[in-house]
Amino acid sequence: MPEITVRGLTKRYGKVIAVDDATLTIKDKEYVTILGPSGCGKTTLIRMMAGIIEPTEGKVFIDGKDMKGVPIEERDLGYVFQNIALFPNMNVGENVSYSPRVKGKSPEEQGTTSHKYLELVKLLDKMGMFPGELCGGEQQKVSLARALATGSKLLLLDEPLSALDARVRVDLRYDLRRLVKALGITTVHVTHDQEEAMSVSDRIVLMRAGAIVEMGTPEQLYTKPENIFTMNFIGETNLIEGWVRERSVGLCKIELRDGSELEVHSCPYDTGTAVVVSVRPEFVYPFTSGLRSKIVSTTYMGTYWRMTAESASEDEIDFDVPVSDGHLYKIGQEVYLMINNKATVVFPRPHEGIAEAVKLE
Ligand SMILES: Nc1ncnc2c1ncn2[C@@H]1O[C@H](COP(=O)(O)OP(=O)(O)OP(=O)(O)O)[C@@H](O)[C@H]1O
Ligand SMILES: [Mg+2]
């Protein structure tokens, strides 16, 4: 029943704070992703969970047991390294059956295990080859198969799919989630890919500059984030500056920089508060009225056209139109944009400025 808790976990390298006071619990059988931009401390955090790196401060508990001084081999977990670390002198089959072998399982059982997981990652035909003869994506799949073959109920994966083609990555992430759910494995999966995190996780832990910014289900973080960084990092969003002009029950009038007005739902701030209204592109529609704007760029995205417009209030607003309507919009054209006011999230305007608040580091 592996449950993993970290409390006040901190790692310092001289003046660099790689992980800053992280506290969280990953429940038994839960699939949690640690998401965040490059350099935010994801690898350092998961390595401290695994026992590869010693924390400067704080503690790691697995099933309530303090892991201080317990090496990775004794933590009963499967681990996938970000920089794939296969045994170069063992072939693919031997790499995957490494854990059952050191546990003294029979040759037959070793063979069944490596067969099972190599089949999962679709590499049965490479069983006899050596890591040096495989491409990066194949090595990553072997690494994943080897971690699964440990048979342990706790899996720690550091960017396990990053070296794969976009298509394979998508297929394999669903297979991975299905498998660990079927086997009842507790999984911590590090990624910087927000779409990957959204699609596999029970819960996402979002990090920035060493610290945990916010945790929640993918839906919570996408629709009702508490932090403007989360709103901007997970999915795409428009950020419109304004002030609360008038508050009433349920609705709130926001004055924009050109004096125009935008009505939004659920804005808990007092009249006069400087705010940022955030709305995702899929909730902005061209209409006969709304925010007066001018198209500044049009991009063909395959399944839709992405339009970027600049409003009279000098906010940049992205919205999407169906492929069939793409020809209706030209750069320089004036449009009116309606905003679905139920889909807005209002944040107080950050003191450090919006750009600084959503910056990746
Ligand atoms: N051994 C080390 N010595 C000094 N600084 C380190 C060391 N390891 C990591 N850091 C620093 O700690 C920070 C966090 O690094 P970490 O590898 O945890 O980031 P990450 O979120 O995994 O990034 P990426 O997505 O690029 O893998 C970085 O600024 C990194 O330079
Ligand atoms: Mg990393």
In angstroms, what is the span from residue 19 Cα to ligand 1's centroid? 9
Which numbered atom of ligand 1 lies nearest the CA of 159?
27
Give the SS3 label for residue 188. strand
192: DSSP letter: S
The residues whose Cβ lies within 5 A of ligand 2, an ion, are: 43, 82
Q: Atom 28, ligand 1: which residue's CA is nearest?
A: 39
Task: Indicate the top mutation candidate among 10, 13, 194 to test ligand 1's pocket, ranked by most ligand atoms within 8 A of CB.
Answer: 13
What is the pLDDT averaged over residues 303-321?
A: 97
Percentage of residues in the chain with pLDDT exceeding 90?
86
For residues 27 and 184, give the distance between their C-alpha atoms in angstroms, rounded to a whole number: 11
pLDDT at 22: 98
pLDDT at 251: 87
What is the pLDDT averaged over residues 288-301?
A: 96
What is the pLDDT averaged over residues 84-104?
A: 93
pLDDT at 249: 79
Same fold, 4-229 and 237-358: no
Q: Which residue has the higher pLDDT, 171 or 351?
A: 351
- End-to-end, the C-alpha distance of the chain in Å comes to 36
Of the listed ranges 30-34, 58-62, 163-167, 271-275, the one predicted with least confidence:
163-167
pLDDT at 322: 95
Whether the predicted pLDDT of 262 surpasses 80: yes
Q: Which residue has the higher pLDDT, 283 or 172?
A: 283
CATH hierarchy code of domain 237-358: 2.40.50.100
pLDDT at 168: 84
Reported in sequence order, the residue ranges of 248-330 that DSSP labels E, i.e. its strands, are 251-256, 261-265, 274-279, 284-287, 291-300, 304-311, 316-322
For residue range 16-28, list pLDDT tens digits in order: 999 999 999 999 9
Q: Atom 31, ligand 1: which residue's CA is nearest?
A: 39
For residues 124 and 291, give the distance between their C-alpha atoms in angstroms, rounded to a whole number: 57
Of the listed ranges 130-144, 315-329, 334-348, the one predicted with least confidence:
130-144
Residue 181 binned pLDDT confidence (cut-offs 50, 70, 90): very high
What is the pLDDT averaged over residues 240-261?
A: 93
Give the sign of the dihedral formed by CA 174, CA 178, CA 183, CA 184: positive
Kind plus residue range of the DSSP H or E element containing 70: none
Whether the predicted pLDDT of 84 surpasses 80: no
pLDDT at 352: 94
What is the pLDDT averaged over residues 37-49?
A: 97
Q: Atom 11, ligand 1: which residue's CA is nearest?
A: 18
**Virtual CA dihedral for 337, 342, 344, 348, nearest 10 degrees?**
130
Structural domain boundaries in the chain: 4-229, 237-358
What does residue 75 show for φ and ψ, rounded to 5 degrees?
-95, 0
pLDDT at 23: 98
For residues 244 and 262, give the distance between their C-alpha atoms in angstroms, rounded to a whole number: 10
Task: Give the amino acid at 179.
Answer: L
What is the fold of 4-229? Rossmann fold (3.40.50)
Whether the predicted pLDDT of 1 surpasses 80: no
CA atoms within 13 A on the CB side of 77: 28
Q: From residue 214, give the alpha-carbon distance in Å to each of 187, 197, 204, 304.
A: 19, 14, 8, 31
For residues 11 and 26, give the distance between their C-alpha atoms in angstroms, rounded to a whole number: 20
Give the SS3 label for residue 230. helix
